[in-house]
């Protein structure tokens, strides 16, 4: 986004007397494109991208106390316990780069986490608005996407590829940064089936939670660019709605 547009957006919101910050929650089963779409949105909207999965994988690879605690949950495809996740996210949300809002990718994942986020924002960020984007993809396509997924191991890049639908130009090498492409430990058929079942179990409550607030947008993201464009249009309308009362 150009600096002019950024300033224009800020002034527009400041005319309303308050600077509204957006916390955009990406809801969707594994492999629906939360990460891919979330990263693009974070760049286009100049919002910090926070992925609980990435935070946890980083903790595991650095063998921290937290990493040791959560390793077995992640490897088996189970959810990390709510209290651990909530504490981790709260700490992250208080960091300086989150002042202007964030894209939350993979959090909340349970009704309890959604409630915790709501209360945290109410207490700590009075001008924050929460809005959820639900990415809806059929199960058979999800499994196909996840078992073929490859991720750039260079942490500052993290580009996502797919052996079938989006292969890199050179096998095993990231097109963007030349980093080595790897498969995630939990991206196998057995684990993804479990992650998917857990998602389906929790998603109804989560979706209802945001629907009640009139802050839910559901799309079937066939094409990443089209999905990003649609979501941005929805967010513009949503912001307009806020500013008109
Ligand atoms: P995916 O959406 O493909 O499952 P993520 O990177 O978002 O991938 O999450 C990977 C794993 O990290 C999950 O299977 C779970 O073990 C753990 N995790 C991430 N976010 C949460 C969360 N909000 N609550 C509980 N566990 C989580
Ligand atoms: Zn890369």
pLDDT per residue as tens digits for the range 100-153: 999 999 999 999 999 999 999 999 998 899 999 999 999 999 999 999 999 999
Q: Would you say 233 and 45 are in contact if contact means Cβ atoms under 8 Å apart?
A: no
Atom of ligand 1 minimally distant from the CA of 187: 3
Ligand 1 atom having least distance to the Cα of 56: 12
Pocket mutation for ligand 1, best pick of 28, 29, 53, 155 (most atoms within 8 Å of C-beta): 53
Residue spans of alpha helices (H) in 148-222? 189-212
Find the CATH number of the domain harbouring 97.
3.40.50.300
Give the single-character DSSP code of 76: H
Report pLDDT digits (tens) over 39-72: 999 999 999 999 999 999 999 999 999 999 999 9
Measured between alpha carbons, how far is residue 100 from residues 95, 129, 168, 231 in Å?
11, 11, 34, 19
What's the 57 CA to ligand 2 centre distance in angstroms? 17
**167 lies in some domain:** no
- Please indicate, yes or no, if residue 63 is contained in any of the structural domains: yes
Q: What average pLDDT does the segment 25-45 reach? A: 94
Q: Is the pLDDT of residue 176 over 70?
A: yes
Q: Kindly state whether residue 180 falls inside one of the protein's structural domains.
A: no
Can you give the residue range of the structural domain that contains 71?
A: 3-138+189-244
DSSP3 helix / strand / coil % (the chain, rounded to 5): 55, 15, 30
Give distance in angstroms: CA of 166 to centre of ligand 2: 14
Is 163 within a domain?
Answer: no
pLDDT the model gives residue 196: 94
More confident residue, 213 or 4: 213
In a domain, residue 158? The reply is: no
Q: Which residues of 59-91 are buried (b: 16+ CB within 10 A; e: fewer)?
A: bbeeeeebbeebbeebeebebbebeebbebbee
pLDDT value for 44: 95
Q: How many domains are contained in the chain?
A: 1
34 given a catalytic annotation: yes
- Which residues have C-beta within 8 Å of that of residue 72, sequence separation ≥ 6? none
Dig out the tokens for 240 from the structure.
Answer: 């307009």
Q: Is 57 part of the annotated catalytic residue set?
A: no
pLDDT at residue 214 in the model: 79
The whole-model pTM stands at: 0.87
144: annotated active-site residue: no
């Amino acid at each position: 986004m150009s600096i002019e547009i950024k300033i224009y957006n800020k002034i527009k919101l400041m005319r309303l007397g308050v600077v509204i910050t957006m916390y955009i929650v990406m809801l969707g089963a594994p492999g629906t494109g939360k990460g891919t779409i979330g990263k693009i949105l974070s760049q286009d909207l100049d919002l910090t991208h926070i992925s609980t999965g990435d935070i946890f994988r980083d903790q595991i690879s650095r063998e921290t106390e937290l990493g040791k605690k959560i390793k077995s949950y992640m490897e088996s495809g189970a959810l990390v316990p709510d209290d651990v996740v909530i504490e981790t996210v709260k700490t992250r949300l208080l960091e300086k780069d989150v002042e202007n809002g964030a894209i939350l990718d993979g959090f909340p994942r349970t009704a309890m986490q959604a409630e915790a986020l709501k209360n945290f924002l109410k207490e700590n960020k009075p001008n924050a608005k929460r809005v959820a984007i639900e990415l809806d993809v059929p199960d058979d396509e999800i499994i196909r996407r996840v078992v073929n997924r490859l991720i750039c191991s260079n942490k500052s890049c993290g580009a996502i590829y797919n052996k079938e639908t989006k292969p890199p130009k050179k096998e095993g090498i990231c097109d963007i940064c030349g980093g080595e492409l790897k498969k995630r430990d939990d991206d196998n058929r057995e684990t993804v089936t479990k992650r998917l079942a857990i998602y389906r179990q929790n998603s109804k409550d989560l979706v209802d939670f945001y629907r009640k607030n009139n802050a839910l947008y559901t799309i079937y993201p066939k094409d990443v660019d089209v999905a990003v464009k649609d979501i941005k249009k929805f967010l513009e309308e949503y912001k307009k709605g806020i500013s008109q009362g």
